[in-house]
């Protein structure tokens, strides 16, 4: 099976405190630690496990600047067979639809049976997978937390729905699935693994090679334009306890007693 996994390089939410620039034009990016979007890492692991069972190969693609290479290489160190970088100044400021249109062009350059995305990325939009499927006119399922290959044409999949219940579906290939966290346990990638793939050539494709009209993507083609970042006016918010650790613990003890938090 030929699988394409779409991965996005994002500020690592576990490692960073996100702050908005004073002029609201962006978040402060200088000191951010970046990594692969958490959901995409599960998608790559799943693709590798499927190919281990039924054969085929895994390609990892990312749209971004030169720095996207670092996350593609990391996922290749996990075991993805090929990388693909989609880089062009014309892609900058794309909205979700623009990102999906670029990915569609990349999908059509290959012969894929299955395309995986993450359920969502740092913008929390959860939109690219569904848009990509619609642009390709392929069937789609979101929030997938189980994949079983049935035969050459269909997959049995689980979708995670409210309450953690699982909706089982059969879906025809080729299809697009967005992957939910927890579907597997992504393998650890060590420095040695990354070194092994350090010199592997990763093809780069721009708008021209993908056959994309630059005016249809990027900021020019965006139906959704980001105006600014801002910090909403703080509501009542929490009363922050002050003092030494011992003093704070003592205050909290009293509050917990008063609110019925101790038995």
Ligand X SMILES: Cc1cc2nc3c(=O)[nH]c(=O)nc-3n(C[C@@H](O)[C@H](O)[C@H](O)COP(=O)(O)OP(=O)(O)OC[C@H]3O[C@@H](n4cnc5c(N)ncnc54)[C@H](O)[C@@H]3O)c2cc1C
Binding to ligand X (CB under 6 A) within 66-105 occurs at 93-96, 99
State which of positions 226-245 bind ligand X (CB under 6 A): 226
| From 56, 93, 139, 214, residue interacting with other proteins (rule: CB under 8 A) | 139
Which among 65-73, 74-82, 212-220, 221-229 is the span making contact with other proteins, rule CB under 8 A? 221-229
Provide the minimum distance between the beta carbon of 180 and other proteins in the complex, in angstroms, as a whole number.
Answer: 8
Cα Rg, the chain, nearest whole Å: 21
The torsion angle over the Cα atoms of residues 237, 239, 240 and 242, rounded to 10 degrees, is 160
DSSP string, 68-117: HHHHHHHHHHHT-SEEEEE--GGGTT--HHHHHHHHHHHHHTS--SEEEE
Whose structure tokens read 């290479």?
69
State which of positions 29-68 bind ligand X (CB under 6 A): 37, 39-40, 62-64
Give the x/- contact pattern for ligand X in 128-147, rule: CB under 6 A: xx-------------x----
Cα separation of 131 and 97, whole Å? 7
Provide the minimum distance between the beta carbon of 100 and ligand X in the complex, in angstroms, as a whole number.
Answer: 8
CB of 93 within 8 A of CB of 222? yes
| From 25, 170, 196, 211, residue interacting with other proteins (rule: CB under 8 A) | 170
Which among 51-59, 121-129, 148-156, 198-206 is the span making contact with ligand X, rule CB under 6 A? 121-129
State which of positions 171-210 bind other proteins (CB under 8 A): 171-172, 175, 181-182, 185
Provide the minimum distance between the beta carbon of 151 and ligand X in the complex, in angstroms, as a whole number.
Answer: 26
Nearer to ligand X, 182 or 211 (CB): 182
State which of positions 15-34 bind other proteins (CB under 8 A): 17-20, 27
**Residue in 172, 168, 107 with CA at minimum distance from that of residue 143:** 168
* E strand or H helix at 63: strand 57-63
Using rule CB under 6 A, residue 127 touches ligand X: yes
Give me the half-sphere count of Cα atoms (radius 13 Å) on the Cβ side of residue 62: 27
Cα separation of 40 and 121, whole Å? 8
Site size with ligand X, rule: CB under 6 A: 34
């Amino acid at each position: 099976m030929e699988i394409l996994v779409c991965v996005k390089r994002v500020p690592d939410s576990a490692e960073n405190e996100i702050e908005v620039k004073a002029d609201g034009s962006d978040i402060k990016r200088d000191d951010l630690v970046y990594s692969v979007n958490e959901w995409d890492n599960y998608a790559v692991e799943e693709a590798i496990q499927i190919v281990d069972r039924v054969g085929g190969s895994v390609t990892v693609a990312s749209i971004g600047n030169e720095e996207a290479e670092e996350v593609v290489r990391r996922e290749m160190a996990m075991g993805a067979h090929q990388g693909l970088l989609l880089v062009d100044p014309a892609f900058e400021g794309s909205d979700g639809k623009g990102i999906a249109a670029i990915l569609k062009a990349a999908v059509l350059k290959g012969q894929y049976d299955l395309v995986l995305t993450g359920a969502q990325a740092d913008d929390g939009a959860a939109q690219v997978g569904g848009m990509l499927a619609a642009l390709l006119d392929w069937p789609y399922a979101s929030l997938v937390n189980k994949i079983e290959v049935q035969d050459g044409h269909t997959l049995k999949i689980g979708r995670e729905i409210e309450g953690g219940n699982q909706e089982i579906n059969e879906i025809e290939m080729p299809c697009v699935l967005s992957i939910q966290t927890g579907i597997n346990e992504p393998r650890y990638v060590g420095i040695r693994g990354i070194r092994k793939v350090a010199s592997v050539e990763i093809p780069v494709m721009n708008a021209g090679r993908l056959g994309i009209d630059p005016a249809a993507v990027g900021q020019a083609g965006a139906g959704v334009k980001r105006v600014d970042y801002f910090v909403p006016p703080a509501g009542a918010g929490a009363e922050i306890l002050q003092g030494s650790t011992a003093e704070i613990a003592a205050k909290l003890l009293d509050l917990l007693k008063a609110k019925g938090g101790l038995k």
